[in-house]
Structure 1
C-alpha cells in the first residue's frame, strides 16, 4: 500500500468486487493469526485499494454490512498494538480506518469526510516555506486528479460515481476552469514546469465549453492527460498515493468527487494561511515587522487562489449537489480545524461565539486556544497600534498586509455564501448545528482582524 503507483480505477465489475472482499478477509485473517510487529506493516500492505473500491460501489452511507464487519474486526486487531515507535504504514492504516468506519461508528464529521487524518500524514512542517510548497503541490495534485476523473467520464472510460451525471457541457466547463486553476497555483512552486502550449490547451477547452454533443477529440484528450501526467511526474510520488487513498465518498453521485476535491483543496489553503499567521505571531513578537509584512502579503496571495477553486465548484448545479447532500449530514465545513485556526490565530472571538457550536465542533483547536501560554496576533499587534503607542513607519507595510488579507478573507466568505445560497437556499446546514445560509450571512461582515479598524480610527497616543 505504501508504493507510489496509481491505482487502476477503470477495472470494475462484479468479479473484481468479489476479489476485493476476499482480499480484505485474507488480510484480516493474517492480522488475527500472525505475530506481527510495527516493522512488519510496510511489508504487510493493508489492502486499502480493495476497501475503497467497494465503497465506490455503494458509498459509505450504504456500506455493505459484511465489509463493515470485516473492517471493525481489523480495527479491533489494530488496537492490540502498542509501541513507542509506530511505522508510517501503521499510522496510515489507522487514519484510513477513521474515514472507513466513521459512518458506522457515528464519528463521522468534516475531518473524516475530507480524509484530513490521511492528509496530515503527508504534510511537511519542517519550515513554512516547505509547507507552502508541499501544500500548493497537493492542491495542484487534487485538481489534476479531478481533471482526469472528468475527462475519463467524458470519454466513457470512468466506472466510478456515474450516477446523477451533469450535462457534458458542465464537465467541459469544469476541465477548462480546472486547468486555469493549475496555472494560478503553479506560482507557488517555482520548480513546477508547465508545458509551453498550456495557453493553447486552455483555449481549446474554452472552445469545448460551447459544445454539447461533439465528442472530445483524441488530440485534446491525449494532450490533457499528458498535462496531468507531466505534472504528477514532477511532484512527490507519494502524492499519487494520497490521491488514491483520500476520496472515500458517502454516496455514488458523480459530483461528490468534485465536491470532495474542492473541500480538500480549500483545507490545504487554510492550512497554509493558519500556519503563516502562527509564524507571524512569533515574527511580530521578535520585532521582525518587515518579514511579517512579507508573510501577510504572501498569505493574501495564497487566499486569492480561492476564486479559481470557487470557479471549479460553480460548475456543480444544485440538482447534482442535492443528489448526495442528504447523505453528508453530520459533516460540515463549520468543523474545519484549519479555518478555525485562522480565526483564533487572528483574533480573540466573542465569548458567546466561542461557546457556540461553531467552536464546540473543533475541540482540538479550542484546547490549543485555552492553553495559558496561547498568544495570537491580537495580543502582539494591539500594543503597537495607535492609541497604544505612537505609530511607526516601519509598521505600515505590515498593517497594509494585514488589511489586504482581511479584505480577501471577507471576500472569500461572501463568495462562499453566494455559492451555498445558490445550492441550498435557506436549508439548514449539514452539521445540524447551524441554520445554514442565515448563519453564513450573519458571519459575512465579521473581519479577520476586527481590532485593526477600530484601533487605527483612534488618534495616536501623545
Structure 2
C-alpha cells in the first residue's frame, strides 16, 4: 500500500482535479483506518490540499474530501467529518425548494444505495479474505441476521422506487439478488459517493455497518427537517387541512427506520469498543439534522439551547436565536382561532402519530446505547452519553397541557 500515485499527481497537479488518485487514497484509508494512516500519507495529502489552487478547473468535491481525510491531523474530527456527511446530498431546509415527492425519491435512492453498499460489503467479506476491515469478523449466523435486517430496512424505499426484488428463499440469497440488482443501476456519481463516504477510523469489520446505519439515519432526519419546515410554511399560508396528513406521513417515515435499529443491534459489543476508542470528538449529539427536527417542533429550553447538544451545531442555534418558527407556535395560533376547530381532529391524529414515532425512536436509541455503554457511561468527546439520553428520552416534543391533542390544549 504505497503512495506513488499521489506523488505522481503532486508532480503535476495542473493536469486536472479529476485525475487525482481518489481510489488509491480511499484504499489506503480503508486498509489502515483513518486513525492509523501513516504520516507519509498525511504529509502528501496536506501538500495536495495546498496545491489545489494550481488546478485549472478546481473541484469543490475534492477540496471537501481532502478536508475530511485530514480532519484528525487538523484537529477538526467530529461527527460530520467521521460520517463524511458533507459528501452526501442530505435534504436540508436551507436548500432551494423542491417538490416533496422529488425529495422523498432522492432520499429513497440514497437510503437504498447506502444499505446495499453495506450488504455488498458483508457478502464480500463472506466470499473473500481480501475484503477491507478484516478484524473481528462476525460469524455466518450473525451476518445472515444482519443481512435480513438490512434488506428489511431497504424494502419500503425500494417499493416506492418501483424496485421489486423477488424473494429468493433465504436471507443470503435475497441479499445477493438485491446487491446485484442495485449495482447494475448505479451511475458513476453514486459509486463515487459510496467510495468517498466510507472512511472508517479502524480496521474492525463492524465499523462499516455502524457508519452506514448512522448515515441513513441522517438522511431520514434531513428529510424530516425539510418536511417540518414545509409544514410550518404551509400552515402560515393558511393550508391547515394538509397539516395533519403531512405530520402522519412524517411519522410513517420515521417508523420505517425501525429495522435500522434491529440492524444496528447486530453490532458486536467487543467490536464497537475496539473502534470507539478512535472516535473521540465525534458524537451523535452533534447531529445537525436531528437538532433541526427537534428545534422545528418547539424552541428548546434555555438550558438545552446552551448545552453541548446545540453548541455543536452553531448554525441551528443561530436559526433559533433569530426567531425560527416552530410547530408549537402554530399550535398556539390554532388554539386561539375558533375557526380551525373543524380541522383539529385530523391535526390531533397527526401530532399524536408523530410524537409517538419520535418518542419510540428516542427510547430505542436509549436502550441500544445502554446495551453498548451501560447506564452511566460518558459519550465520546466527554459528551453526556447515556445519562443525557435518559433525560431527553421523554422530553416533550411539543408544548402545552396536552400538545398532542389541540382540542385539549386551551383547557
TM-score, normalised relative to structure 2? 0.92
Report the Cα offset of residue 320 of structure 1. 1.4
1:138 to partner: Cα distance: 0.8
Instruction: Name the SS for the 2:380 alignment partner.
Output: coil
Match for 2:11 among 29, 45, 49? Answer: 29
**2:212 alignment partner in structure 1:** 261
1:61 aligns to 2:35 (yes or no): yes
- Picking from 74, 92, 100, the partner of 1:105 is 74
Q: CA deviation at 1:376?
A: 2.0
Find the partner of 1:118 among 69, 87, 92.
Answer: 87
1:433 to 2:383 alignment:
yes
Aligned equivalent of 1:444: 393
- Give the Cα separation in 1 of the matches to 2:344 and 2:237: 13
Aligned residue for 1:412? 361
For the aligned residue pairs, the C-alpha RMSD in angstroms reads: 2.4
Secondary structure at the residue paired with 1:451?
coil
Question: 1 CA distance for matches of 2:283 and 2:155?
Answer: 29
Shift of 1:389: 4.4
Match of 1:294 in 2: 245
2:305 alignment counterpart? 354
Counterpart position of 2:327: 377
Query: In the aligned structure 2, how far is the partner of 1:69 from the partner of 1:430?
Result: 27
Asked if the contact 2:91–2:226 (Cα under 8 Å) also holds between the matched residues in 1, the reply is no
Pairing of 1:33-112 with structure 2 (within 5 A): 34=14, 40-41=16-17, 44-78=18-52, 90-112=59-81
Farther off after superposition, 59-68 or 72-81: 72-81
Task: Measure, in 2, the Cα distance between the counterparts of 1:267 and 1:297.
Answer: 20
Contact 2:297 2:327 (C-alpha < 8 Å) held by counterparts: yes
Give the unaligned 5+ runs of structure 2.
none
Q: Cα gap change, 1:157/1:394 in structure 2, threshold over 3 Å: closer, same or farther?
A: same
- Asked if the contact 1:164–1:323 (Cα under 8 Å) also holds between the matched residues in 2, the reply is no
Aligned to 2:341: 392
Find the counterpart in structure 2 of residue 323 from structure 1.
274
Partner Cα distance (2:408, 2:390) in 1: 29
In structure 2, C-alpha distance between the alignment counterparts of 1:442 and 1:369, rounded to whole Å: 22
Distance, in Å, in 1 between the alignment partners of 2:135 and 2:259 is 26
After TM superposition, the structure 1 stretch with the greater mean CA deviation from structure 2, 296-305 or 331-340, is 296-305
Q: Give, in whole Å, the separation in 2 of the partners of 1:107 and 1:371.
A: 27
Aligned residue among 166, 170, 174 for 1:204: 170
SS at match of 1:278: helix
1:152: Cα distance to partner?
1.3
Indicate how the Cα distance of structure 1 residues 24 and 237 shifts in structure 2: closer, same or farther if over 3 A, else same: closer
Distance 2:62 2:232 in 1: 35
Helix, strand or coil at the partner of 1:323: helix
Alignment of 1:106-255 (within 5 A): 106-120=75-89, 126-189=98-161, 192-195=162-165, 197-198=166-167, 201=168, 203-205=169-171, 220=173, 224-234=175-185, 238-255=189-206
Give, in whole Å, the separation in 1 of the partners of 2:190 and 2:181.
14
CA offset digits 1:77-113 (Å, max 9, x no partner) = 235789xxx86xx111122112101111010000000
SS of the residue aligned with 2:12?
Answer: helix
List gaps (5 residues or longer) in structure 1.
Answer: 1-16, 209-219
CA distance in 2, matches of 1:293, 1:458: 16
Say whether the 8 Å CA contact 1:110–1:332 is kept in structure 2: yes
1:442 and 1:172, CA in 2 relative to 1: closer, same or farther beyond 3 A? same
Pair 1:47–1:122, CA change in 2 (3 A): farther
